[in-house]
């Protein structure tokens, strides 16, 4: 995984990041339509270059508290933090255990 988010997300597998890279506005619109959870999201708010890559961030990644914490600490992901795993990331890692596993796998190398 070359493009991992601060929380352990595989940004290379993210449909929104792929659509952003390809300039595929139709795909971003489809992703937005598929992900309406209690409200409408504009496809433009899903554009994302990846957690640590320069450029635009999706509304989800831009507001991610785990990402903000890692950036404040100057680390690329939570695996570099002495407090990993922490209470801030626990709800996310409980919802998506793969993200925590990605960090642990990289830390074990």
Q: Render each residue's pLDDT in the chain as its tens digit; 109 residues.
A: 578 999 999 999 999 999 999 999 999 999 888 876 556 788 888 999 988 888 999 988 899 999 999 999 999 999 999 999 999 999 999 999 999 999 999 888 7
What is residue 69's predicted lDDT score, i.e. its pLDDT?
A: 96
What is residue 108's predicted lDDT score, i.e. its pLDDT?
A: 85
- Model confidence over 57-77: pLDDT tens digits? 998 889 999 999 999 999 999
Cα–Cα distance between 45 and 88 in angstroms, integer?
A: 24
Would you mind telling me the total number of residues written for the chain in this entry? Answer: 109
40 burial class (0-12, 13-18, 19+ CB within 10 angstroms)?
Answer: exposed
**pTM of the predicted structure, to 2 decimals:** 0.82
What is residue 38's predicted lDDT score, i.e. its pLDDT?
A: 53
Please state the three-class secondary structure of 32-88 as a single string.
HHHCCCCCCCCHHHHCCCCCCCCCCCCHHHHCCHHHHHHHHHCCCCHHHCCCCCCCC
Cα–Cα distance between 15 and 31 in angstroms, integer?
A: 8
Two tokens at 37?
């959870």
Packing angle of the helix pair 25-34, 15-22 (nearest 10 deg) = 160
User: Which DSSP letter does residue 1 get?
Assistant: -
């Amino acid at each position: 995984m070359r493009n991992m988010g601060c929380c352990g997300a595989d940004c290379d597998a993210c449909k929104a990041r792929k659509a952003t890279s390809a300039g595929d506005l139709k795909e971003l619109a489809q992703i937005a339509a598929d992900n309406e959870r209690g409200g409408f999201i504009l496809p433009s708010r899903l554009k994302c270059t990846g957690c640590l890559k320069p450029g635009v961030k999706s509304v989800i990644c831009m507001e991610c508290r785990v990402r903000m914490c890692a950036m404040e600490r100057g680390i690329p992901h939570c695996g570099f933090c002495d407090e990993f795993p922490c209470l801030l990331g626990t709800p996310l890692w409980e919802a998506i255990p793969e993200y925590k596993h990605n960090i642990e796998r990289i830390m074990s190398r």
